Amino acid sequence: MKRLLVVAAAALTLVAHADTYPTAKPVTLVVPFTAGGPTDRVARDLAEAMRKPLGGATVVVDNAAGAGGSIGANKVAKAAPDGYTLLLHHIAMATMPTLVRNIPFKVDSDFEYLGMINDVPMTLIGKPSLPAANYKELSTWINANKDKINLGNAGVGSASHLCGLLFQNAIQVDMTTVPYKGTAPAMTDLIGGQIDLMCDQTTNTTSQIEGKKVKAFAVTTPKRLTTAALKDLPTLQESGLKGFEVTIWHGLYAPKGTPPDILAKLNSALKAALKDPEFIKKQEGLGAVVVTDKRMEPAEHKKFVAAEIAKWSPVIKAAGVYAD
């Protein structure tokens, strides 16, 4: 009898909890990279767009940066599964398990998958003083300066790390990689000329390319982009790097064990945000493409990440680009 009462009380707490969610406190959206960077940009736009569908809840962004995005992911994996701590992460959820051999969480079993957000191209960019106006001239400069090139990234396991490693592998040149906690501080150093090159998401690079603060050489997608500021950039494929393709995608996650009612509320708020014309417009202006309805579904998100792990694992291993 006593046990039954305890079970009933626990069930009641759960129902009440889901009913009142998310009014108890602000929802924290963890971004595993620094503020002002490409993933932070997506997160801040999404936080704003999710506020209304979440009944006016406060959604705050927490930049838990470091270790290529694994510190923030681990923070959410270990957080209370109550819907008040969420993770916005990118392709690293699929590449980290191969790129970084020891991550303190399991991508497939420590999270509830809430749905995908967008696809984001990357751009190969250089410091403003770099004496090259296009990819061909960049190639010549790289070959003449092979031993002294600094390539910035957001740490082992990040998208810029992956892209930079694949680029070095494709052109068979070893550069000195300079890791940061996100590409926002790396961008500051690139603009200042402390580093030479970087491969970064268009959600960070579009405004810098537009403002001519950096030199842009190519995009990493198989097709050229349509965004006004980026449409004249050639692809790396057409520049001679056969098969080169990196597209970054973002997804939303909650800690494993979050109650199903809360997950359902979060998924419908995510869908509403992704259909918000203001959010779509902001993303398009940054070269990002909001996902289709199918990819907003949690099951599809999980399937997609598993497929990306299978896709990237052999590529990373074959390129010999994984790290401890």
Q: Which residues form the interface with ligand ASP (CB under 6 A)?
A: 33-34, 37-40, 90, 153-154, 158-160, 182-184, 201
Closest distance between ligand ASP and the C-beta of residue 187, in Å? Answer: 9
Question: Left (φ > 0), alpha (ψ -120 to 50) or beta: where does 40 sit?
Answer: alpha
SS (H, E, C) 147-198: HHCEEEECCCCCHHHHHHHHHHHHHCCCCEEEECCCHHHHHHHHHCCCCCEE
User: Are 164 and 175 within 8 A, CB to CB?
Assistant: yes
User: Are 61 and 150 within 8 A, CB to CB?
Assistant: no
Closest distance between ligand ASP and the C-beta of residue 160, in Å? Answer: 3
User: Are 160 and 69 within 8 A, CB to CB?
Assistant: no
Element (H, E) at 107: none
Q: At residue 247, what are phi and psi to the nearest 5 degrees?
A: -125, 130
Closest distance between ligand ASP and the C-beta of residue 30, in Å? Answer: 12
Closest distance between ligand ASP and the C-beta of residue 32, in Å? Answer: 8
Nearer to ligand ASP, 201 or 283 (CB): 201
Closest distance between ligand ASP and the C-beta of residue 120, in Å? Answer: 9
**Prior bond of 22 cis (ω within 30°):** yes
Nearer to ligand ASP, 21 or 244 (CB): 244
Element (H, E) at 132: none
Closest distance between ligand ASP and the C-beta of residue 190, in Å? Answer: 13
Nearer to ligand ASP, 33 or 244 (CB): 33
Closest distance between ligand ASP and the C-beta of residue 249, in Å? Answer: 11
**Sequence-ordered list of residues with C-beta below 8 angstroms from that of 298, at least 6 positions apart, any chain:** 112, 113, 114, 115, 263, 267
Nearer to ligand ASP, 142 or 163 (CB): 163
Nearer to ligand ASP, 28 or 205 (CB): 205
DSSP category for residue 253? E
Closest distance between ligand ASP and the C-beta of residue 257, in Å? Answer: 27
What's CA 17's distance to the chain center, in Å? 30
Nearer to ligand ASP, 112 or 200 (CB): 200
Nearer to ligand ASP, 198 or 262 (CB): 198
Nearer to ligand ASP, 157 or 259 (CB): 157
